[in-house]
Amino acid sequence: MLAMSSEELIPAREFCTFHHVELSFIHSLHDSGLIGMTIHDGAVFLPAGELPKLEKLVRWHYELSINTEGIEALSHVLQRLEYILQENSNLRGRLRRYEDDSAGHSAGPADFSDL
């Protein structure tokens, strides 16, 4: 293991050996912008924080036979879905606050006598 800029790095060869993965696959994921990678003294290292994501991508490729382009597309769709779900949650919270504020007022929607 190597620590650079306060992030733990894992040797890519160890990851590949442990998971029975080709190093070229790791390079293709990096080239696609799906994972980070650091090269130090000719050796390739992977950020430890990205291992769960990398393991998921490896399963998609080797267990589901999804190629790198398919993995890129799926990753994009899932990121977009996560954004939409977060936005939905934020909007529900705002709506809830609005409904709570409206419920506290005794005047109904047709009461405009103060205008």
Answer whether residue 95 is part of any domain. Answer: yes
Supply 16's token pair: 């590949």
What is the CB neighbour count within 10 angstroms for residue 39?
10
Mean pLDDT of 92-104: 87
SS3 assignment, position 39: strand
- For residue 78, the domain's CATH number is 1.10.1660.10
Alpha-helical segments (H) within the chain? 12-19, 23-31, 51-64, 68-103
Whether residue 109 has pLDDT greater than 70: no
The answer, yes or no, to whether residue 93 has pLDDT greater than 90, is: yes
- Residue 110 covered by a domain: no
For residue 103, pLDDT over 90 is answered with: no
**For residue 111, pLDDT beyond 90:** no
**What is the C-alpha separation between 77 and 26, in angstroms, rounded?**
21
pLDDT at 87 over 90: yes
- Counting the structural domains of the chain, the total is 1
Single-letter residue type at 115:
L
Sign of CA dihedral 102, 108, 113, 115: positive
Q: Domain limits at 63?
A: 2-102
- pLDDT tens for residues 21-54? 999 999 999 999 999 999 999 999 999 999 999 9
Rounded to whole angstroms, the Cα distance separating 61 from 2 reads 27
